[in-house]
Amino acid sequence: MIDISQVLQDISSSELHQAIQVQTKLVSLIREILVREKFVELLPVIISPLTDPLTDFRVRGEVECYGFKYQITKSMIFHKQMAVKAFPRIFCFSPNVRIEPAERRDSGRHLIEFVQLDLEVRGATREEVIELGEKLFSNVIEGIKGLAGPELTELGRKLPNFTPPFERITYEEAVKTYGEDFELKLSSSVKKPVWLVDFPIEIREFYDREYGDRPGILVDMDLIYPEGYGEALSGGEREYQVERIQERIRKKGIDPEAYTIYLKLAESGLYPSAGFGFGIERLTRFVCGLGDIGRTRLFAKKPGQFTL
Ligand code: ASN
């Protein structure tokens, strides 16, 4: 049963009110920066026969329309690859649904319905999108301090300026240094955001590009927040040649039948590209210095929770 009194209590939280004011300004800052950088904004795809496999989520969100099965978007990755055929630089504030394991309910970082700023650049390398990510992140932090001073003071949040370039650590080094739960431990140990790069093929999806000369390692990256806030953004260079994509699907043990449409698109020719997704609620949580991601949006849904 939905607890209406809890919903009413949540929407009247003053922390949430401040956070939503900050978020409004964050979204407008991001949009302004990207338009200045010559990106076009796409409207989101909410349902499609094709979405990110994200194989660690056991449950697929599906809707039936006219006897056909649509999936609810887990990320717009494949649409981004298609979209850069039309426009060289694209972004979208993309709502995603990921039915996360219920154990993540109190992580402070997980919602099953969230929005990511998803962007992709035709012909870009990882290096170029890392530079873009640093510019975007540092400008957004600097900008929000000017635009949302009173809200941040009310929330008791003091933010430094983060000047790029940010340091990098490979996945291998991170695991060696921090062991299990390396992402949060790394995040807690740094004062500036840090890039986690070169993930092994087993733990990522098939679309991030594998180095030509380092089998099993991907040309990808996550940006990790300081102060223990965990992942900020995630992305990489993409596989774009149909034979490579087929090979990667095979290696994952995925039935290629499930990706017939995507493989047809790849056959028609995809551009090389790189991009990333940047979680808006997590950015709001970091900027506002909140413990609970449930305070970053109205109608927040945590894993395992049934609510409005
Ligand atoms: N948006 C991410 C990317 O661009 C993919 C994801 O959200 N899983 O790589």
Q: How confident is the model at residue 115 (pLDDT cuts 50, 70, 90)?
A: very high
Choose which residue among 118, 197, 233 to substitute to test ligand 1 binding: the one with the highest number of ligand atoms within 8 A of its C-beta.
118
Tell me the C-alpha distance between 306 and 308, whole Å: 7
Distance between Cα 12 and ligand 1 center (Å)? 33
The end-to-end CA distance of the chain, in Å, is 10
- pTM of the model as a whole: 0.97
Choose which residue among 73, 75, 94, 203 to substitute to test ligand 1 binding: the one with the highest number of ligand atoms within 8 A of its C-beta.
75
Kindly state the average pLDDT of the residues 47-75.
89
Residues contacting residue 212 through CB under 8 Å, at least 6 positions apart: none
Q: What is the pLDDT of residue 226?
A: 98
Q: What is the pLDDT of residue 57?
A: 64
Residue with tokens 């370039």: 165
Which contiguous run of DSSP H or E holds residue 115?
Answer: strand 113-122
Kindly state the average pLDDT of the residues 83-98.
98
- Each residue's pLDDT tens digit, 136-158: 999 999 999 999 999 999 999 99
Q: Is the pLDDT of residue 180 over 70?
A: yes
* Annotation: CATH topology of 4-296: BirA Bifunctional Protein; domain 2 (3.30.930)
Q: How confident is the model at residue 58 (pLDDT cuts 50, 70, 90)?
A: low
Cβ of 91 closer than 6 Å to ligand 1, yes or no, is no
Q: Is the pLDDT of residue 6 over 90?
A: no
Cβ of 273 closer than 6 Å to ligand 1, yes or no, is no
State the closest ligand 1 atom to the C-alpha of 207, by its place in the atom list counted from 1.
Answer: 9
Average pLDDT, the chain: 96
DSSP state of 74: S
Q: Is the pLDDT of residue 10 over 80?
A: yes
Q: Is the pLDDT of residue 25 over 90?
A: yes
Cβ of 138 closer than 6 Å to ligand 1, yes or no, is no
Q: What is the pLDDT of residue 56?
A: 63
Q: Which residues of 191-207 are buried (b: 16+ CB within 10 A; e: fewer)?
A: eebbbbbbbebeebbbb
State the closest ligand 1 atom to the C-alpha of 75, by its place in the atom list counted from 1.
Answer: 7
Q: What is the pLDDT of residue 1?
A: 83
Q: What is the pLDDT of residue 7?
A: 87
Query: What percent of the chain lies above the pLDDT cut of 70?
Result: 99
Tell me the C-alpha distance between 303 and 52, whole Å: 19
Kindly state the average pLDDT of the residues 79-102.
97
Domain boundaries of the chain, sorted by first residue: 4-296
Distance between Cα 159 and ligand 1 center (Å)? 27
- Please compute Rg for the chain using Cα positions: 19
210: which strand partners? 218
Lowest-confidence pick of 22-36, 121-135, 161-175, 245-259: 245-259
Q: Is the pLDDT of residue 260 over 80?
A: yes
State the closest ligand 1 atom to the C-alpha of 52, by its place in the atom list counted from 1.
Answer: 8
Q: How confident is the model at residue 292 (pLDDT cuts 50, 70, 90)?
A: very high
Residues contacting residue 29 through CB under 8 Å, at least 6 positions apart: 139, 140, 143, 144, 147
Q: Is the pLDDT of residue 55 over 80?
A: no
Nearest Cα residue to 169 out of 201, 205, 136, 193: 193
277 to each of 45, 236, 280, 284, how far by Cα in Å? 15, 10, 9, 15
Q: Is the pLDDT of residue 176 over 80?
A: yes
190 to each of 74, 92, 225, 264, 282, how far by Cα in Å? 30, 30, 8, 44, 17
Kindly state the average pLDDT of the residues 66-84.
97
